[in-house]
């Protein structure tokens, strides 16, 4: 669960939460929606701006998840993020279970099991949508 003392940062236009700030003795540490730090200690304005500039687009990329029944991390996409868990869907044809198999991880995700996929990699289902 995201700690209650973290400050929620919302986009001005639609009030969508883009991350959190944790107060420290020297400033504020910005955290993404998965509860992972994205920078060190910064002044409030810089930390807030970093989260606002980063936005939510990173959530739409393909991610790698270490699962117990595979030797290598599998491709997954984020289905939903809340303050207490992230729900993921498999997006890996090489995995022994159907595409769309669901996984949940607690937030903050500090296990290291979930890592960003290759730079610029988007989910297959996003690529399948006609433009």
Average pLDDT, the chain: 90
Q: Could you give the CA distance from residue 31 to residue 51 in angstroms, rounded to a whole number?
A: 8
Mean pLDDT, rounded, for 19-41: 97
Q: Could you give the CA distance from residue 15 to residue 52 in angstroms, rounded to a whole number?
A: 11
Asked if pLDDT for residue 87 goes beyond 60, the answer is yes
Q: Which pLDDT band, with edges at 50, 70 and 90, does 121 fall under?
A: low
Residue-level pLDDT at 130: 43
- Please state the pTM of the whole predicted model: 0.84
């Amino acid at each position: 669960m995201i700690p209650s003392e973290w400050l929620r940062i919302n986009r001005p236009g639609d009030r969508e939460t883009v991350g959190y700030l944790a107060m420290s003795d020297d400033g504020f540490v910005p955290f993404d929606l998965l509860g992972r730090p994205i920078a060190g200690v910064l002044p409030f304005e810089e930390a807030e701006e970093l989260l606002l500039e980063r936005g939510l687009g990173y959530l739409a990329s393909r991610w790698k998840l270490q699962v117990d029944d595979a030797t290598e991390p599998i491709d997954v996409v984020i289905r939903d993020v809340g303050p207490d868990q992230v729900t993921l869907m498999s997006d890996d044809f090489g995995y022994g279970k159907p595409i769309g198999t669901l996984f949940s991880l607690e937030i903050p995700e500090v296990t290291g099991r979930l890592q960003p996929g290759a730079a610029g990699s988007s989910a297959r289902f996003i690529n399948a949508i006609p433009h």
